[in-house]
Amino acid sequence: MTGVSPQNFDEMKDAGGETRPAYGDYCNWYDQQDAALLKRKDAEADESFRRTGITFNVYGEDEAEERLIPFDMVPRIITAPEWRRLTRGIEQRVRALNAFLYDLYHRQEIIRAGRLPERLLRGNEAWLQNMVGLAPPGGVYTHIVGIDLVRTGPDDFFVLEDNARTPSGVSYMLENRETMMAMFPDLFSKVAVEPVSNYPRRLARSLAACVPPKFEGGRKVNVAVLTPGIFNSAYFEHAFLADQMGAELVEGSDLRVVGGKVQMRTTRGFEPVDVLYRRVDDDYLDPLTFEPDSVLGVPGIMDVYRDGGITIANAPGTGVADDKAIYSFMPEIVEFYTGEKPLLPNVETWRCADKESLKYVLDNLEELVVKEVHGSGGYGMLIGPTATKKEIKAFRAKLEANPMNYIAQPTLSLSTCPIYTNKGLSPRHVDLRPFVLVSPNGIEITPGGLTRVALKRGSLVVNSSQGGGTKDTWVLKD
Amino acid sequence: MLGRTANGLFWMFRYLERAENTGRLLDAGLRMALTRDIQTAEEEWRSVISTLGLKAIYEASNDGYDGTSVWNFVLRDKANPANVREMMGAVRSNARTARTNLSSQAWEAVNENWMKLDKLLSRPVSQNGVGEVITRLRRTGTQVHGAMDGTMLRNEGYHFGRAGTFIERAESTARILDMKYYLLLPSLSYVGSSLDSGQWEQVLRSVAGASAYSWLNAGQIEARGIVQFLVLDDSFPRSLAFCRNALRTNLGELARLHGKEGSSNDLMREADSRISDLSVDAIFDQGLHQFLTDFMARNAAIGEAIANDYRFLA
């Protein structure tokens, strides 16, 4: 898997080197650009991101160091018909996810029906016993979802991962577009691209539609974004979203339960919070219920939640669906709750918990990608084709010791999209994370999303913590 | 607005003002060092360090008062926890805390200048480099205040920021004046001994008032004129009277927006009664140093009262 395999699907050029229709207008424009100008623009992009402060902190590094996620100025382009197909599949999947979560925390029909083994819940660290029997306001568990997609051919999109817990990265979707428009205004007059800038407004509306049952009305719904604070790696995004939504950006220390409501300490005294878009993990939400030492959360918030005094988005316990062992059951889950075949397929997945699958995986480690069931961010995984013999040997030992903890997938030949380099355009592997909003009024998908790109030639790892970059993602207008 | 956010805005502007004033103080010292003999220059650097309240920690790690040592200590030395690099870091982290209540222009002005200054101050600052730092500090203030003036809502956040600016500025002017008060003892000027005009230019320069003063006083440098200018002249934006007037307006607006007055408004009125209709003679009669000490204590008390009235801290 060194170098891009000739079989892999390039989104810009077909096998004969011809530009695909999606990129036609863009390439016409690109070919007319002065090479020196492009070079200068590329250098300026970094500067512009630093000025706006879109940086992230990398854990374990010098605290003062803030890094940029590299931005590549060649957009990733999706046609309107492709997007329509994707949205139908995403909508179906997200609908199923919500129904699934409701069922898991209530009657567990899917387990009774024998379609999902109960052990998956027992071993799932994100499972929250406190959520059993509790109906979240509006019946919504996953107010914000990010579905990670990969592509392997003209019509072949697969879901790689569901992010139902706290999907991040939406600020990059928005800022990448702003940066592109500032860098190349003329380009947007030549190519008609669906806007993404209304995402924060939609998010605000979607959150405000999820008022808790005890909201007494007669005043505006108070939405707040809960952040772990300015040292969190995603603080920029938290502040950005709060700012764009006109919501308060709160920390745990600003909140207190007063008179049965979660209230924030304002300059006028305590004011109620109705909907809390929290960007802290379940474990840190309520020191009375979860981590007793946490200073990030709000003591007693879970009691208020249970009592219908506040909406927490996403609902506590939704992370159960992000588990990769659950993922492997998503086709069954979609069918069980929607009565339809999944429109968007999963990547073929071997559950190492099954004896036969385990044998297959152990026999074919050199070919497979093996992931931890609860892992994320590209950590703790083995990419067989690029791993050394020693790495494979070490991983084999871990896998044999605890097979339940792993799933395996074939090494996909991910699609590529070119990035700009000083030597011209050069293909790199990409994935795509569209952002989905769920409210009692329905499901909204912003046309676009976050395209992550592996900047190293031939690399399949797109995670920003491991050298990935991002691109602006265009959905073309019809 | 959250109390914590209000606190962030208040301190962001205090540190911004403090960094800018520190830069000016260095500028004035530098000027003096370039135009006077070595001994006077050393005296000036010593007084810069004293004005900033850094004498003890400076002397703990430095042998003498040469310019390079002084400005590096003030600007970037880790032995000095109140160095300008740290101040700018505090400006930015407070701005990040209050990010949702700053316009993006104001935020970018902070962030961009912080990046530049942080880079300039990451290495020792040479004789040739110190001017650039001082200019950048001045520009930072200008750009942030300009962005604030042009793009921010006149809501409570604006007034918390402004309150921070004027409390800090008044404190700074009062300190600078207090450091040199002995030069102004009326007995000296009464007997007609000429003031050291270089010393006074330095004071005026460190509050950006040298040319304004000259305009008002036709170049005559004398004790009464200087006290009148720095304390009582409400047209000079760094005088104590101006800062008080501005702070009064901001506190009045905060009380109006909140529909009630707090202890800060009471303290403000009390402080006003001590300074309104005051004459230069009356100040000299009670003693300039005593006057300034009382002023600074009241100024600090108003700052604390604001934090209490508006629930800055849990």
User: For residue range A334-350, what is the model confidence (pLDDT) as tens digits?
Assistant: 999 999 999 999 999 99
| pLDDT value for A48 | 83
Query: Does one domain contain both A128 and A179?
Result: yes
**Structural domain includes residue A52:** yes
Q: How far is B267 from chain A (nearest CA, A)?
A: 19
Query: Does one domain contain both A315 and A436?
Result: yes
pLDDT of residue A87 exceeding 70, the answer is: yes
What average pLDDT does range A382-399 have in this prediction?
Answer: 91
| pLDDT value for A357 | 93
Band of pLDDT at residue A60, cut at 50, 70 and 90: very low
What average pLDDT does range B140-163 have in this prediction?
Answer: 96
List of chain B residues whose C-beta atoms are within 8 Å of the C-beta of residue A51 = 108, 111-112, 115
Instruction: Give the contacts of A293 (CB within 8 A, at least 6 positions apart).
Output: A287
List of chain A residues whose C-beta atoms are within 8 Å of the C-beta of residue B311 = 265-267, 269
Q: Which domain holds residue A380?
A: 350-410
What average pLDDT does range B84-89 have in this prediction?
Answer: 97
What average pLDDT does range A112-117 have in this prediction?
Answer: 95
Per the prediction, chain B carries an average pLDDT of 91
Query: Does one domain contain both A192 and A240?
Result: no
Please give the share of chain B, as a percent, with pLDDT higher than 90: 73
CB atoms within 10 A of CB A465: 16
End-to-end CA distance of chain B: 14
A365 touches chain B (CB under 8 A): no
A28 touches chain B (CB under 8 A): no
pLDDT of residue B157 exceeding 60, the answer is: yes
By Cβ distance, the residue of B4, B6, B99 closest to A251 is: B4
Query: Does one domain contain both A183 and A223?
Result: no
Residue A376 or residue B262, greater confidence:
B262
**Structural domain includes residue A4:** no
Please give the share of chain A, as a percent, with pLDDT higher than 70: 95
| Domain termination site, one of A281, A309, A337 | A309
Distance, CA of A438 to CA of A314 (rounded, Å): 10
| pLDDT value for B308 | 96
Query: Does one domain contain both A153 and A55?
Result: yes
- Specify whether the CB–CB gap between B46 and B56 falls below 8 A: no
| pLDDT value for A226 | 97
Band of pLDDT at residue A63, cut at 50, 70 and 90: very low
Is beta strand A311-313 parallel, antiparallel or unpaired with respect to A275-278? Answer: parallel
Residue type for position A232: N
Band of pLDDT at residue A58, cut at 50, 70 and 90: low
| pLDDT value for B91 | 97
| Domain termination site, one of A410, A433, A453 | A410
pLDDT of residue B195 exceeding 60, the answer is: no
| pLDDT value for A4 | 43
Query: Does one domain contain both A245 and A225?
Result: yes
Token code pair at residue B43: 């005296």
**Contact check, Cβ <8 Å, A239/B93:** no
**Structural domain includes residue A80:** yes
pLDDT of residue A59 exceeding 60, the answer is: no
Q: State pTM to two decimals.
A: 0.89
A253 touches chain B (CB under 8 A): yes
For B309, nearest residue in chain A (alpha carbons): A267
User: For residue range B196-249, what is the model confidence (pLDDT) as tens digits?
Assistant: 677 778 888 889 888 888 888 877 777 788 889 999 999 999 999 999 999 999
CB atoms within 10 A of CB A255: 24
**B256 exposure class (CB count in 10 Å sphere: 0-12, 13-18, 19+):** exposed
Give the DSSP H/E element, type plus range, for residue B303: helix B288-309
| pLDDT value for B193 | 46
pLDDT of residue B167 exceeding 50, the answer is: yes
CA dist B193 to B39, B187, B210, Å? 22, 9, 21
Residue B218 or residue A462, greater confidence:
A462
pLDDT of residue A170 exceeding 70, the answer is: yes
Nearest to A183 by CA among A62, A40, A301: A40
User: For residue range A182-222, what is the model confidence (pLDDT) as tens digits?
Assistant: 999 999 999 999 999 999 999 999 999 999 999 988 999 99
pLDDT of residue B285 exceeding 50, the answer is: yes
pLDDT of residue B39 exceeding 90, the answer is: no
CATH number of the domain encompassing residue A386? 3.30.1490.270
Band of pLDDT at residue B32, cut at 50, 70 and 90: confident
**Structural domain includes residue A94:** yes
Backbone angles phi, psi at B83, to 5 degrees: -70, 160
Band of pLDDT at residue A61, cut at 50, 70 and 90: very low
Q: Could you give the dihedral angle defined by the CA atoms of residues A450, A451, A454 and A457, in that order, rounded to the nearest 10 degrees?
A: -160
Residue A379 or residue B82, greater confidence:
B82
| Domain termination site, one of A375, A394, A410 | A410
Distance, CA of A80 to CA of A475 (rounded, Å): 6
B2 touches chain A (CB under 8 A): yes
CB atoms within 10 A of CB B225: 19
**Contact check, Cβ <8 Å, B2/A264:** yes
pLDDT of residue A329 exceeding 70, the answer is: yes
| pLDDT value for B43 | 86
CATH number of the domain encompassing residue A236? 3.40.50.11290
**Structural domain includes residue A97:** yes
A62 touches chain B (CB under 8 A): no
**Contact check, Cβ <8 Å, A267/B311:** yes
- Specify whether the CB–CB gap between A433 and A450 falls below 8 A: yes
Band of pLDDT at residue A381, cut at 50, 70 and 90: confident
By Cβ distance, the residue of B1, B97, B111 closest to A266 is: B1
pLDDT of residue A377 exceeding 70, the answer is: no
Query: Does one domain contain both A116 and A184?
Result: yes
| pLDDT value for B184 | 61
Q: What is the DSSP letter of B228?
A: I
pLDDT of residue B190 exceeding 50, the answer is: no
Distance, CA of A85 to CA of A89 (rounded, Å): 7
**Structural domain includes residue A167:** yes
Query: Does one domain contain both A388 and A270?
Result: no
Distance, CA of B299 to CA of B171 (rounded, Å): 7
For B116, nearest residue in chain A (alpha carbons): A51
- Specify whether the CB–CB gap between B15 and B167 falls below 8 A: no
**Structural domain includes residue A256:** yes
A254 touches chain B (CB under 8 A): yes
**Structural domain includes residue A153:** yes
Band of pLDDT at residue A57, cut at 50, 70 and 90: low
Query: Does one domain contain both A262 and A304?
Result: yes
Query: Does one domain contain both A45 and A178?
Result: yes
For B310, nearest residue in chain A (alpha carbons): A267
Query: Does one domain contain both A30 and A150?
Result: yes
B282 touches chain A (CB under 8 A): no
Overall number of domains in chain A: 3
Strand partners, A417: A428
Band of pLDDT at residue A375, cut at 50, 70 and 90: low
What average pLDDT does range B102-107 have in this prediction?
Answer: 94
Residue A308 or residue A3, greater confidence:
A308
What average pLDDT does range B34-56 have in this prediction?
Answer: 88
Strand partners, A444: A437
ipTM, 2 decimals?
A: 0.84
**Contact check, Cβ <8 Å, B4/A50:** no
What average pLDDT does range A156-182 have in this prediction?
Answer: 94
Query: Does one domain contain both A324 and A301?
Result: no
- Specify whether the CB–CB gap between A90 and A434 falls below 8 A: yes
